[in-house]
Structure 1
């Protein structure tokens, strides 16, 4: 058993198997999962677990080169806009696309991780980086 960090066995396997440029989606409770893309469904109740909790758990385990977020966050989800600013400050590339485009891009993901989040546009595509230079 792991002492700390991400404890979810399936998520650990997915992250360990990812290669450079592979993508992993962390979504809210309403994000549709494209056909054929595996879903790790963590949602228990509305808001549980939160997007923020799931994001932080995965982000600490995965080498993230860039992220893709919905441009609508600036009008509809202040917390996601703050996350975008934080990631930019940390040197992570942040691309913004329409929410419809984000849903289309999700079809290429190795998996979608579904949180219980119910705030609008709480979705992100994580693009795997490398741990060496």
Structure 2
């Protein structure tokens, strides 16, 4: 059995096969997921697993160099937005690598998910609790 934090086999495989600049989306329970993109559905019930828990686990297993967030997230759900930014800052500090943050409209965000290798659906019910991670390199 795997010893590290991430034990979900689909997520573990996804992270292990990411290349530089590949994108994955972590989303709330309501984000529409394009049919052509792999769906990894973790949602069990409202709030389980949470968006922030899922982000934390993915960050523990992968190197991220950039994120894309909907502008609406900061204004509509400021506490969750701030918690995400704090997690990203902590990861940047721990890894010694900066993480670029880009904001786009929610409509542009939804369109961008089509470029993701996979969309990871959580049970989160906080509006606009979505992020696209852009893979970095560990060297």
Match in the other structure for 1:33:
33
5+ residue gaps, structure 2, are: 93-97
Across the aligned residues of Structure 1 and Structure 2, the Cα RMSD in angstroms comes to 1.3
The SS at the match of 1:72 is: helix
Q: Map Cα deviations across residues 41-95 of structure 1 (whole Å, 9 max, x no partner).
A: 0000011110011110111111100000011122111233212355257331100
Q: Establish whether residue 122 from structure 1 lines up as the match of residue 129 from structure 2.
A: yes
Tell which deviates more after alignment, 70-79 or 108-117. Answer: 70-79
The SS at the match of 2:61 is: coil
Q: Establish whether residue 103 from structure 1 lines up as the match of residue 123 from structure 2.
A: no
Match in the other structure for 2:100:
93
Runs of 4+ in 1 over 3 A off after TM superposition: none
Using the size of structure 2 for normalisation, the TM-score is 0.90
Using the size of structure 1 for normalisation, the TM-score is 0.94
Match in the other structure for 2:120:
113
Tell which deviates more after alignment, 77-86 or 49-58. Answer: 77-86
The answer to whether the 8 Å contact 2:56/2:87 transfers is no
Distance in structure 2 (CA, Å) of the matches to 1:111 and 1:14 = 8
CA 1:7–1:86: 2 relative to 1, 3 Å? closer
Tell which deviates more after alignment, 108-117 or 4-13. Answer: 4-13
